[in-house]
Structure 1
Amino acid sequence: MQKLAYSRYGPETVRLVDEWEAAIENMQRLSHEDKLIEANRFFNTRIQWAQDPDTWGRPDYWATPLETMGRGMADCEDFAIAKYITLILAGVDSSQLRITYVKAQLPSEGGPALTAHMVLAYYPSANADPLILDNLITEILPASQRSDLTPVYGFNSLGIWVGGARNPASREPESRLSRWRDLLRRAAEEGLG
């Protein structure tokens, strides 16, 4: 991945990719909870939040981890995707992770406002209260303690879940989410698939 990082983004990105790969190697020896902390911290401290039009010049783009590290900027989808892929590479089973589209209650001048947001949810067991990895609130908390978030749908490579459903509404996320399908294709081309 270093050659690709260098040719697309230059030496600074190669250093960040090296740090990422070392972090993933180190995470493989950690408990799942510590893996979550490390993945969350890695991206929340190294990547700056920015909207897609500022980063990519288009309204909505789902970036691979390499693209995120190359630009050094990401929106909430990119943070969730980077953490998802990092945790899978560190040995967390994809069935325990869901990239989750939520309505987030954010403070604003006229009072709290609902806005579209994406987080990564980790399920220690199938029916557990998931832990939420977020780029806005960096402390990892159970979903039951995140009253500011209302889940709309979650997905991973195995399916799509609507709201807080325990069973997937679809087991074909690539056919339902074109941005997810495109992201997986690009990640595979980068050697992550």
Structure 2
Amino acid sequence: MRPSILPTSPICFANALRRRLWWWGALLACAWPALAAYDAARVLEVAAARNPRLAEQAQALVSQIERDSALDELQRLKDINDFFNRRLEFKEDLVVWGVPDYWASPLESLDKRAGDCEDYAIGKYFSLAATGVPTAKLRMVYVRARLGGQSLAHMVLAYYAQPGAEPLILDNLRPEVLPASQRPDLTPVFSFNTEGLWQGVGQVTQGDPLARLSLWRELVAKVKVEGFF
């Protein structure tokens, strides 16, 4: 029998398993092509047709995307993370939309100026893709987050600079973009993007996320209409 590469201490084992869960995602992240072309004019057109307040918010986002397109990817992560963390107020879907679970498009979130953890991650994902960051480097990640002694379902956005790299985590709970090793409060459960769905520590994709996640499928249809995809 081959010796285990994981330590026997419960605490060390948990830390090693957490790293492995993040890093399997890194090994798989570069298997996918970039998102389809972003259409800034379409984004502004859709926003203007809805209401003047949203048109103003959309212009701010489009301007941010344009500025960031000329910057290195790390700076893009910081800027887009700050953009959504500053502009959205955390509110549950029942408060904002009147339903238990709703995944809002970037424009819908900016229109409400509010959203839950999924909405923050969604806005960051599609905005970073619009700046030119390949979606192969981005993952929406469901995690268990330890908050005040509780383990709660939560979503973050992970960025993998290259295969095998430790991911950087974009989160509405923390203002900083931090390496996963500096977020021991998060344990990844499964991840997905516009091309793949992964679960646990497996290396094999679990299938088409548009087929497996109905909310994600509905969301992608909306962002296509809005010009993000």
Q: TM-score range by the shorter chain?
A: over 0.9
For the 8 Å contact 1:24–1:90, the answer to whether it is kept is yes
- 2:85 is aligned to 44
Counterparts of residues 120-159 of structure 1 (less than 5 Å): 120-159=157-196
Shift of 1:12: 1.7
For the 8 Å contact 1:159–1:168, the answer to whether it is kept is no
Consecutive unaligned residues in structure 1, runs of 5 or more: none
Distance (whole Å) between structure 2 residues aligned to residue 36 and residue 42 of structure 1: 10
- 2:212 is aligned to 176
Identity %: 44
Question: Is 1:5 the equivalent of 2:27?
Answer: no
Distance (whole Å) between structure 2 residues aligned to residue 156 and residue 120 of structure 1: 10
- 2:125 is aligned to 84
For the 8 Å contact 2:65–2:127, the answer to whether it is kept is yes
Shift of 1:163: 2.8
Shift of 1:4: 2.5
Distance (whole Å) between structure 2 residues aligned to residue 173 and residue 99 of structure 1: 11
Structure number with bigger Rg = 2
> Which is helix-richer, 1 or 2?
2
Residues 55-82 of structure 1, C-alpha deviation per residue, up to 9 Å, x if partnerless?
1000000000000001110100000000
Runs of 4+ deviating beyond 6 Å: none
Question: Is 1:65 the equivalent of 2:106?
Answer: yes
Shift of 1:164: 4.5
- 1:161 is aligned to 198
- Kindly indicate whether structure 1 or structure 2 has the higher relative contact order, using CA contacts under 8 Å at least 6 residues apart: 2
Q: How many residues align?
A: 187
SS in structure 1 opposite 2:184? coil
For the 8 Å contact 2:199–2:206, the answer to whether it is kept is no
Question: Is 1:26 the equivalent of 2:67?
Answer: yes
Consecutive unaligned residues in structure 2, runs of 5 or more: 1-42
Distance (whole Å) between structure 2 residues aligned to residue 95 and residue 5 of structure 1: 28
Provide the aligned C-alpha RMSD in A: 1.2
Shift of 1:83: 0.1
